[in-house]
Structure 1
């Protein structure tokens, strides 16, 4: 296999990462029985050429490259992480009742709840199979999965609560989103056989990157554009989801926060379009958007400091910086 030697262009590297991991992903999915195989292929959008960016797979490959790892080992780790991520997406869409992903109907909305559960489970099983030759990596992924479950459970519990604190919301995001990104970066270092201190620095890099990613994602979910996020803007507000900007605004105090609490009171059904617009305005007036933007920049800075501690070198190091910039500064 040819070594990963991209330039410092993040989009180009994401494309190369998809090309490198694509065969392993398709081989894994081909093991599935029908109709699960076809549903998984639909989720990956391989028939329409609209597959996800594969950020986590790219982080594995770039981290390994930056620490002089063998690309053959990194590809299997990257494919396994990407399968785990897509398992979580299918189940997350079902739990959140999100109708669209990558501008297409989600698996549950296209095939039903039961098939979504089965397909997600199947992707998790083949992910474990792909990673079975690397026991330390498999243990790393399992730890990330337990953290993800913890974060997802908290996220669901928040929907029926009126007293969600900002600290616990940040912890939820760190578990739900940050854990797998942190593990992706650490896995790259592990497959490069790097020293434990450098692997841990990569894990911190991914942790900060995960929080920045979630903050930007939450901002896009309220004030972005559907063609950028691939999901309907305002969908989280419609079902009163307590994303990071929302919780920041609810805890801000003042008249705007009080009015937002009245709109966001749980148990009253989905918000209508007028309430969604009002909620978005109140979140911004209460300071939720500004707080989220500051925190995204804070975690970008933290990610860069952690990356420097990992002492990456060469083009892999440049790509990690470029990927972090892409994640933290997505067009809105």
Structure 2
């Protein structure tokens, strides 16, 4: 259920990023063709509707959320040395790492300009950025380490994904007139949907095809990043295998199902968060997001799973 303002968000995004630079313009245009479906700005817009935010404010903050997401993707692609994003070559692969860093910085600068008229949201964007960075460093610290606990893994994906989505919901409804109960429910909704979203992504990285996902699959394990399906299999087998074989665990059907059930649990919690809110277009829009993620999760059950080892 796409929000009716999304076309305005896209239009404003393109207007803000229009550049006369012959070097910068083609990079921006290339990236805009790979930026995805805009889940984060949609969260801002639906939560803005629930809070009764003015249209311009909601559009501006939705644009800002997308700019932060875009900046993080450009920089993440450099860190991950990703060659493709949504079937197109990444910025750093086409124009070099130096240019890609500058493009990400340009998105950050534009973000700051957009949110400057809204001082109330600035601390929340700052916290979201810090969380994204902390999540990346946490992932670096845990690289090639299959001994991390489920709690550590969940904290990592919270820092990398869920906190940002929670922030999108919070800034959307962050007005002086929004009751605390509504803001708290929407903030928690964003956290739950973010956790489910990342767990789904971890499953897709193993189960999906490159064509279906729009990017190379099995990227996490190829870089020594153990996601929950691998960790769960490792925990199950760790008492029965010699140490040198433990990192070669292939996710079992049980571990894939365990991850799927945990994602479904967070989706259910996201729906519960909305149950206390009146039935409005905004509430129904957020419920639709939960249903869409649930549908994708269910579709993965119909696909045969394959995962590589670290041989």
Pair in the same fold by TM > 0.5: yes
- For residues 55-76 of structure 1, what are the alpha-carbon distances to aligned partners after superposition, in whole Å with 9 as ceiling and x for unaligned? 0001111111123322221000
- For residues 155-200 of structure 1, what are the alpha-carbon distances to aligned partners after superposition, in whole Å with 9 as ceiling and x for unaligned? 1221143422211011000110011100111111115841233112
Residue 252 of structure 2: aligned partner: 284
Counterparts of residues 71-220 of structure 1 (less than 5 Å): 71-191=55-175, 193-220=177-204
Counterparts of residues 221-260 of structure 1 (less than 5 Å): 221-253=205-237, 258=241
Tell me by how many angstroms 1:34 deviates: 4.4
Q: Structure 1: where are the runs of 5+ without partners?
A: 1-9, 266-278
Residue 272 of structure 1: aligned partner: none
Q: In the alignment, is the contact (CA less than 8 A) between 1:151 and 1:172 conserved in 2? A: yes
C-alpha RMSD over aligned residues: 2.2
Tell me by how many angstroms 1:30 deviates: 1.7
Answer with 110-119 or 225-234: which moved more: 225-234
Counterparts of residues 31-110 of structure 1 (less than 5 Å): 31=19, 33-45=21-33, 51-110=35-94
Q: Structure 2: where are the runs of 5+ without partners?
A: 301-311
**Matches of 1:313 and 1:71, distance apart in 2:** 20
State the SS of the aligned residue for 1:252. Answer: helix
| C-alpha spacing 1:146/1:51, structure 2 compared with 1 (3 Å) | closer
Q: In the alignment, is the contact (CA less than 8 A) between 1:212 and 1:296 conserved in 2? A: yes
| C-alpha spacing 1:131/1:92, structure 2 compared with 1 (3 Å) | same
Superposition TM-score, scaled by structure 1 size: 0.83
Q: In the alignment, is the contact (CA less than 8 A) between 1:99 and 1:109 conserved in 2? A: yes
**Which among 262, 266, 274 is matched to residue 245 of structure 2?**
262
Q: 4+ residue stretches of structure 1 with deviation over 6 A?
A: none
**Matches of 2:60 and 2:213, distance apart in 1:** 28
- For residues 185-238 of structure 1, what are the alpha-carbon distances to aligned partners after superposition, in whole Å with 9 as ceiling and x for unaligned? 111111584123311221110001000000000000000122332211222222
| C-alpha spacing 1:23/1:166, structure 2 compared with 1 (3 Å) | same
Superposition TM-score, scaled by structure 2 size: 0.88
| C-alpha spacing 1:133/1:312, structure 2 compared with 1 (3 Å) | farther
Tell me by how many angstroms 1:81 deviates: 0.3
Tell me by how many angstroms 1:79 deviates: 0.3
Tell me by how many angstroms 1:22 deviates: 1.1
Question: How many residues are paired up?
Answer: 298
State the SS of the aligned residue for 2:236. Answer: coil
| C-alpha spacing 1:64/1:252, structure 2 compared with 1 (3 Å) | same
